[in-house]
Structure 1
Amino acid sequence: MKTTDAIRSRRAVKHFDASHSMTEEEVNEFLSLAVLSPTAFNIQNWRYVVVTDQELRTQIREVSWDQAQVTDASLFIVLCADLKSWEKQPDRYWINAPKEVQEFMLPAIDDYYRGKDQVQRDEAMRSCGISAQTLMLTAKSMGYDSCPMDGFDFEKVAELIHLPDDHVIAMFVAIGKGTKEPWPRPGQLELDEVIIKNRFA
């Protein structure tokens, strides 16, 4: 499928075939493509909690407004980020770069993030948002449907997945075989309402 077709046809699907299973190869394909998503300074701060335990999925569904996607999706991911990835052996992110690039980038990473909690969190959300879109477009191109989700109790889900203190949850991404067509697009704003040329008036 062409990328433009995947973008146009991707919709948030709420009903999945609970009996469908993905192959290990398919799951690996999803995750291998997801980690090619860009991150600032290449800090690769996303963390993908792939929930396969059905009992845990049921517990997560109970704190997620009883949304069926949680238990019925073939691939269910709690998309998280490590807020401190920037300081955890950052040389790993530039190991294949020329020495002069490493000598520039590593101090720049430290300077950009150290002592800046809001910057760390903002960066985490940006990175996860980009990666979520990669997952959803990959799903469409592979014949699957998807749904980004934030309708859940973040604190309770964090407890259920034993989220480390220096991590945050951004969203869920549910992927599977859709069983029901989504509603028609409910209302798309015109381009002239969302595009600002140069500056706001």
Structure 2
Amino acid sequence: MFTGLVQGLGTVAAVQPTADGVRLTVATELGRELSPGDSVAVNGVCLTAVDPSNGTFAADVMNETLRRSSLAEIAPGAEVNLELPLRAHDRLGGHIVQGHVDGLGTIAELTDDGFARIVRIAADPELLRYVVEKGSIAIDGVSLTVSAVDDESLSVSLIPETLERTILGSAAVGRPVNLEVDVLAKYVEKLVGAHR
């Protein structure tokens, strides 16, 4: 489990296609905190660390993950958001993030608003039904508050800290982003539907 508070950026060092998916190698100082088998969120996707060292870790990305996330398009040299899993004694500063990407969105518009930047993201209505204004969403693994939502898109406002510490600061219109909606909304829908 994660909180959506990015702990560092990494750089994709290698993308090696295999018969069953892709082996992704990421260069990061967080590699020294990982042991084989540990979870790590890469752009909001929960992966399992393989061969971690002081400066890198690898992860095997299966086809299901490639179909659902922007990791299918990732290339060497790309920067990625990284977060280590929540420990029982840590503060829950963001929101509950599983690292299970629900789908992709596309950055549709960027608008400066004082020191903040408003990012509008086009997304599938099937995902947007779980999104509410002032609710939480994880975008590329970053826990954010939804500032607006309609039938075709959602918007978030990014403060300077988020712009500086995450890959969202360099995001451009047209770039795909990983979206994970609030898991509580999905459970509520299933429970309510079961009792109709």
TM-score (norm 1): 0.24
In our comparison, the structure showing a higher alpha carbon Rg is: 1
Question: Going by fraction, where is strand more abundant, 1 or 2?
Answer: 2
The higher relative CO (CA closer than 8 Å, separation ≥ 6) is in: 1
